[in-house]
Structure 1
């Protein structure tokens, strides 16, 4: 969602449009989950207590954001989530296993937000991720699932990338995937040297790579997948 569209939508919501709020939150759910996980330094889901705190902070950001302050909306969201997480850690005393004292906690979280803001300042990357997530939702895949579905071994990831590159050469199969939201495994294996088993096993990750390859306008995501598999150590 472009910056001017964000401001328009926020104005709608602040004027009482609750349907717009619901759509806005649904659109930014991957961002909320990612921000909470980054601050907590662990994998979180929508059933996690920490994520509920992040959602409340996001709602508060919607109601209180002021574009005249000179910061972006997503950075403002991150600041509110970070502050609420500090309060949560204090109350639950769960931060004690991570750090020895409050000063160290604040230092680590401030360093974390500084690093994260550097990446979220690049709003184009955030938009690409959100657009990708919208595409994946048509296949019952959520962006937050991808970490658990990413092949662990370099050779396996290389193989999935090769399968994706081969698949997009077949326009009719791509059309089937796009229109029916189902990977045409049988048709593809008949035209290639690849077997159904690895395709089925890594279907979600494979579809994700295909989606990115089919959208070269997602420059940052495209650069990421081009750089990924071959550069890693064995």
Structure 2
């Protein structure tokens, strides 16, 4: 988001919006002094300020989405405390473990779908389409594990990651020095490596990241 001259004042001005959003999701009146839900919503709003850009559409719609996702995570992590879960405009009564599991699956599917959409948009910044990944993905498990370990090393190197995001190109020579891999190998799997680095270096892709079968290198 554009730089805010006084973040505290901006947040205070928007406390009615934060309260209304959280209250609508929880379907009840809340109190700033007593309800954790409002603290969660406030943290999510602050995160929205940090992560918003014009490509995400209207700021308040984006902030509302972050607040909703944060509260859903909070409800899921405190399932023993809550008998009701809320999403969109529906109230879902959790009566048994099976319904809870199905509800969690539905929630995760929605969040995962949003992650995939955001991931697709991020890939386009590097000139990569999903169809490119299909063509560029290794078929052998050993190669996938090797590339994953290379990507893990790269994602832990802040200088290389920053250079990648700035130039939208793999700094192949630096990567070769870091990983002891040949330039031809890195270049051959350029698109696939970029996709892995994006997933590993960005905390917003936690569900996609969970599908990576990480095998630690020697």
TM-score in terms of structure 2 length: 0.48
Q: Would you tell me which structure has more helix in proportion to its own residues?
A: 1
Greater relative contact order (Cα < 8 A, sep 6+): 1
TM-score in terms of structure 1 length: 0.45
